Structure 1
């Protein structure tokens, strides 16, 4: 940007840096030639997906294997096995380079042997055919691959590297192992479709799948933490110990060969979760990357500051709108908290919000972005893929619940600001709304996306058009996207998608176990039995299970797993599929702000330097409406746009007022400070309004008027007592 442009922009630079690339604690930052090589591979990875989706379709197994194998390879190259720390000497630094290389040698040689064996299959066209012996290839490929993978993975734990600018040699060979697994299964895919999961499977098939599962779990640990790894490990263990378990958990058990060859097919790792991550998710990650590279994301936040920054508690209201919009696009609650919270949280603290409240507002808003149409953090596309319900129907159904949720967060921050007499930021520090209004065309990419989807374009075509429009629109700003910027967008798109690639593959393991063992069906039967055909009780259990499964897991994985386990039982009880899946999806999203494991709240607490547990409790209060809304659209289908215009209008108005009363009860402020008894009365009034019936609406409204009259002194305890005479 030139000096003149900076002067013209003035305070509009308040959001400067929101679109900057964020590095995690274990992410490498290569330099020099290493950076160029990694950047080039990232660009090729993203371009491959865009090209296949739009121009040159590949056979699904081949495409998904390249998606998973390439993603794992880049994950090992870019993310270390542990956090980078400064100021402490590590075992690796104490060790001579020659000794370190000697320790690596057995694993590196083993993986190199396995890789060369697979290459020979392609060169000689002589793989392990159906007529081959069961143990063919185990010594030249299978055992070296598994042993080398385990050896180098343990080496990475014991003597991790500490240079962020260089890639550890152990991780180079782990990346090679991921490529080797993908190449083996791609070559043998025609045979594996017939023999995987059966007695015809070869030992080499099993060992390739075993190595692949180990690599997926290690990559997931590096990119998403231990929670999902432990859950997946429990499901894997369950596949083998079934015969010794009681009740509905019991099953006949499976051999290593049958289990691992089954799990690495389109019934497991290559199934629905990877199908979604390799299409819809990566497409919209690329869209988000284009918005980031063109700095349109900064415009969204600046626009929110111009519109609401000067109001009481202004930065908090900016967080509600700006973070919600950004969270809708990027699809990761905790990641969005880090991106926009680095700006909004300090500003919220500046105008008077407590650190834990500031972090809680950001966490609630960022998490809510994933229930905000039209993108819903890719949730709408995942739900459409799983249920077969049209995308347009899902998006329309999501509008009112999302508006109620964000209205709730907005009411909470506004009432909090009113209660403590807060003001907004000085107008001279804020972007000028008139100037930003002239750039409203920067919303065009999202408008084009919505329009294309409702014109019945495919999701892929609509997403590609939106991505291209983001580049075109940038030419009307100082940040024109040229070749370098477009390549940069492809590069950061890959980095942003790696976590989702690993997570969806790990979730595929769980989905595969559920399908193989039939535990999903039996769990649904248990749910029916516990609920005794009471749908509300069944939904309560579904809420608990969805939140528990979602704790520590990204939304995509949490929803995919919860939908596999819970949804069939709810639908069997007569609950509409759309309602059942929306219910599960909402609670999977809200697990990010639910104590005790609230990833989004913890990310906000790190920025605000507040107590993580207090922050998670505060974020739960801020997002309380999201724990009520799913029960609302169960009792009032009109909230999902299912009903007449009059029914929809009635339920929206009553629920909206109920959400306001709920926020007042939570904050302890209505038309003044609320005593505990009055908070209880207002809470009951809110529940009555939210329920949506005419009688409960009347009761709720009467209670709300009664509390208002008490606070305005129109009614006092003395006049009430006189009225009893």
Structure 2
């Protein structure tokens, strides 16, 4: 990862003028998960061709040859399922031949090819009937010759895949069955939706029974792939929601509802109410496009440049590597859509360097986790959640990006000053000149920022998000031609392959979230939750907001940001809107808490990833990262009390709120770290906290009070520690 003298403690000061051109290397390398297969030979080429074709399909469909919406989304999900089951194993890999699956398990898996093959033959028969003028397929044909064998093969293959271990370079036959099942589900839906009036009958007794069987099989496939790529948290929540569909009528109070039959529910699940709804709409357009954009940036080594640029800009400040982590994670957050992924890509470099200059492993991991989480709220890309927000609310994406500007500044300012005050408190040094790249050399490659600038410029010139993303992707390839990492045809194909593989996780997560959204829409539980929030607001709006915060964080624990926000936006945001909160404010409120669930104990994915690198306790790291990112738990409440934070209001008001809130964030960091210009006593910390909250609140009178408190504390600290306080020895 690093070839800098930082790796060699005995580096001589005589090398000061010989600054290395590269500190960070490998930031753009593809992350290989523990359950990911590594193929060789013809299998590698075949999978690469499928991944490249999948990426090209989206680029062509989105820009040149539009496809009917439902059909496009069906193919989008099916392609991700096929790639996902080829790439990710359902069980751990065998370390040796003796650990491989017994022969009977292999033959049992191969036997499942018979029913799924039979189903595919029946699809050809169904297509012939439709082409012959039939308006529907006989229910007994759909049940006996399609539904039963499809469900049996899918369920059995999933179970066998949990026990069927093979070496890392081999595809187990059970996963081949699941790939064919995904094609069968997509094939039936395409035949019925495009050849018959079936989509008009979904949710009624007239709906083809095959829709129910397809939706059940599709749901099983999506849940199993989500388990493989994102863990059990989202799967468990999805299963709870599915059980609610049938158990809801038995529940008391506001959770009860009249009930839905299996046929009525599942015949609507694979429609735009559920799986083909807003989450898949976003993953099949904006998300896949920006994944391709990120893959092109990675192929041209822009990530390495971003991290090196951060080293040159902030490395020599006190606690330098920690501040590098903040800048690098903010920049990488624009091209990396997950908090945990951001931690892995930048933290493997910054966490060891933070420990080298004096940060305990716990603090180093916490800082990286908090900074990487902030990448999800960093304009202009803001991870995938912002695109879902635009899709759900109908608010233009550019308005959402602008509204996110002040909150993002406040968050990163908070993390920066938390880091700075801790560095001052413990007397930490920055990196030496010989440990960082020369800024003058990096400035010569500043053109590598051009794709990001073109993306921003195109969006604000009025281009659609799809067109702007496509232009930025093309710009990434063109700009690479004048950089040391030129993208020729091979590199472009490699970027398209990387994009196809990178997209699997986020598409599976969005599809799984679509199941939850479908349950919420069809059972009306979201409306009942809204009425509960409305009742709480009658007692106290602050209580209603606090309850909404808890639910948003609870829904987001252990889930990727995209799914966490999609679910919270369906459950919590409508309730906030019903109590009188503007849609933009309500959605930003739940979006923020969905994001910071990644650093909220007890289930904090970003913190756990950082702890794995730092070697410290995972739970202790999550508590420390919660403290570093504390501003993110306060600022969303201010959206309600001061909408100017989201650029809602006059420019003088927005400027005043932005400046005073930033000063309040500085006081908040000082209060948490017990250090300003020197040590801060307990009573002063309490006063600082009050002053900070007054300025973050955003009211004119509270701003004046907060400024007065801050000014008095500043003068008191300057008079006491004017010459600079002696650092407290690091424990």
Q: Same fold (TM over 0.5)?
A: yes
Aligned with 1:116 (options 92, 113, 121): 121
Q: Is 110-119 or 312-321 further displaced after alignment?
A: 110-119
Residue 559 of structure 1: CA displacement?
A: 0.9
Residue 450 of structure 1: CA displacement?
A: 0.4
Q: Is 274-283 or 321-330 further displaced after alignment?
A: 321-330
Q: Deviations over 1:396-422 (max 9, x none)?
A: 111111111111111111111111111
Q: Tell me the equivalent position of 1:203.
A: 209
**In the TM superposition, what are the counterparts of 1:154-553 in structure 2 within 5 Å?**
154-157=159-162, 159-190=163-194, 191-532=197-538, 534-553=540-559
Q: Is 689-698 or 401-410 further displaced after alignment?
A: 689-698
Residue 136 of structure 1: CA displacement?
A: 2.1
Q: Relative to 1, partners in 2 of residues 1:100 and 1:302: Cα closer, same or farther, differing over 3 Å?
A: same
Distance in 1 between the 2:238 and 2:18 partners? 50
Q: Answer yes or no: is the 8 Å Cα contact 1:507–1:561 preserved in 2.
A: yes
3-state DSSP class of the match of 1:597?
coil
Residue 561 of structure 1: CA displacement?
A: 1.0
Distance in 2 between the 1:366 and 1:700 partners? 30
Distance in 2 between the 1:465 and 1:713 partners? 56
Distance in 1 between the 2:352 and 2:316 partners? 16
Q: Tell me the equivalent position of 2:149.
A: 144
Q: Answer yes or no: is the 8 Å Cα contact 1:134–1:201 preserved in 2.
A: no
Q: Relative to 1, partners in 2 of residues 1:714 and 1:349: Cα closer, same or farther, differing over 3 Å?
A: closer
Aligned with 1:54 (options 63, 66, 77): 63
User: Is it true that 1:34 corresponds to 2:38 in the alignment?
Assistant: no
Q: Deviations over 1:160-202 (max 9, x none)?
A: 3231111111111111111110111011114331222210123
Aligned with 2:623 (options 608, 617, 628): 617
User: Is it true that 1:63 corresponds to 2:72 in the alignment?
Assistant: yes
Residue 649 of structure 1: CA displacement?
A: 1.7
User: Is it true that 1:16 corresponds to 2:20 in the alignment?
Assistant: no
3-state DSSP class of the match of 1:418?
helix
Q: Tell me the equivalent position of 1:568.
A: 574
Q: Relative to 1, partners in 2 of residues 1:335 and 1:207: Cα closer, same or farther, differing over 3 Å?
A: same
3-state DSSP class of the match of 1:153?
helix
Q: Deviations over 1:195-251 (max 9, x none)?
A: 222101233221111111100000000011111111110111111112211111111
Distance in 2 between the 1:88 and 1:141 partners? 37
Q: Relative to 1, partners in 2 of residues 1:445 and 1:610: Cα closer, same or farther, differing over 3 Å?
A: same
Aligned with 2:705 (options 694, 699, 702): 699
Q: Tell me the equivalent position of 1:652.
A: 658
Distance in 1 between the 2:133 and 2:249 partners? 32
3-state DSSP class of the match of 2:140?
coil
Q: TM-score, normalised by structure 1?
A: 0.94
User: Is it true that 1:585 corresponds to 2:594 in the alignment?
Assistant: no
Q: Relative to 1, partners in 2 of residues 1:88 and 1:627: Cα closer, same or farther, differing over 3 Å?
A: farther
3-state DSSP class of the match of 2:334?
helix
Q: Deviations over 1:658-717 (max 9, x none)?
A: 0001001111111212232222221112111211233323332333344445445569xx
Residue 129 of structure 1: CA displacement?
A: 5.0
Q: Answer yes or no: is the 8 Å Cα contact 2:556–2:594 preserved in 1.
A: yes
Distance in 2 between the 1:697 and 1:83 partners? 57
Residue 343 of structure 1: CA displacement?
A: 1.0
Q: Answer yes or no: is the 8 Å Cα contact 1:19–1:293 preserved in 2.
A: yes
Distance in 2 between the 1:551 and 1:50 partners? 33
Q: Tell me the equivalent position of 2:9.
A: none
Q: Deviations over 1:328-360 (max 9, x none)?
A: 222111111111111111111111111111111
Distance in 2 between the 1:260 and 1:9 partners? 66
Residue 82 of structure 1: CA displacement?
A: 2.3
3-state DSSP class of the match of 2:30?
coil
The unaligned stretches of length 5 or more in structure 2 are 1-16, 722-731
Q: Is 623-632 or 694-703 further displaced after alignment?
A: 694-703
Q: Deviations over 1:513-545 (max 9, x none)?
A: 111111111110011112216332221111111
3-state DSSP class of the match of 1:304?
helix
Distance in 2 between the 1:233 and 1:622 partners? 34
Distance in 2 between the 1:270 and 1:18 partners? 35
Q: Answer yes or no: is the 8 Å Cα contact 2:202–2:268 preserved in 1.
A: yes
User: Is it true that 1:44 corresponds to 2:53 in the alignment?
Assistant: yes
Q: Answer yes or no: is the 8 Å Cα contact 1:106–1:148 preserved in 2.
A: no
Q: Answer yes or no: is the 8 Å Cα contact 1:365–1:406 preserved in 2.
A: yes
Q: Answer yes or no: is the 8 Å Cα contact 2:324–2:350 preserved in 1.
A: yes
Q: Which runs of 4+ in 1 moved over 6 A?
A: none
Q: TM-score, normalised by structure 2?
A: 0.93
Q: Answer yes or no: is the 8 Å Cα contact 1:128–1:136 preserved in 2.
A: no
**Number of aligned residues:** 704
3-state DSSP class of the match of 1:265?
coil
Q: Deviations over 1:307-334 (max 9, x none)?
A: 1111111111111011111112221111
Q: Answer yes or no: is the 8 Å Cα contact 2:136–2:208 preserved in 1.
A: no
Distance in 1 between the 2:88 and 2:64 partners? 31
Q: Answer yes or no: is the 8 Å Cα contact 2:209–2:263 preserved in 1.
A: yes
3-state DSSP class of the match of 1:137?
helix
Q: Relative to 1, partners in 2 of residues 1:571 and 1:142: Cα closer, same or farther, differing over 3 Å?
A: same
Distance in 2 between the 1:331 and 1:74 partners? 19
Residue 23 of structure 1: CA displacement?
A: 0.6
3-state DSSP class of the match of 1:627?
helix
Q: Is 523-532 or 188-197 further displaced after alignment?
A: 188-197
Q: Answer yes or no: is the 8 Å Cα contact 1:360–1:618 preserved in 2.
A: yes
User: Is it true that 1:628 corresponds to 2:634 in the alignment?
Assistant: yes
**In the TM superposition, what are the counterparts of 1:66-81 in structure 2 within 5 Å?**
66-81=75-90
Q: Is 239-248 or 100-109 further displaced after alignment?
A: 100-109
Distance in 2 between the 1:74 and 1:180 partners? 15
Q: Answer yes or no: is the 8 Å Cα contact 2:110–2:174 preserved in 1.
A: no
Q: Is 179-188 or 119-128 further displaced after alignment?
A: 119-128
Q: Relative to 1, partners in 2 of residues 1:51 and 1:132: Cα closer, same or farther, differing over 3 Å?
A: closer
Distance in 1 between the 2:461 and 2:370 partners? 32
Residue 10 of structure 1: CA displacement?
A: 6.4
Q: Deviations over 1:69-115 (max 9, x none)?
A: 1101110010001233647964x35x2x3x23322244221111112
Q: Answer yes or no: is the 8 Å Cα contact 1:136–1:203 preserved in 2.
A: no
Q: Answer yes or no: is the 8 Å Cα contact 2:94–2:167 preserved in 1.
A: no
Residue 124 of structure 1: CA displacement?
A: 6.0
Residue 263 of structure 1: CA displacement?
A: 0.7
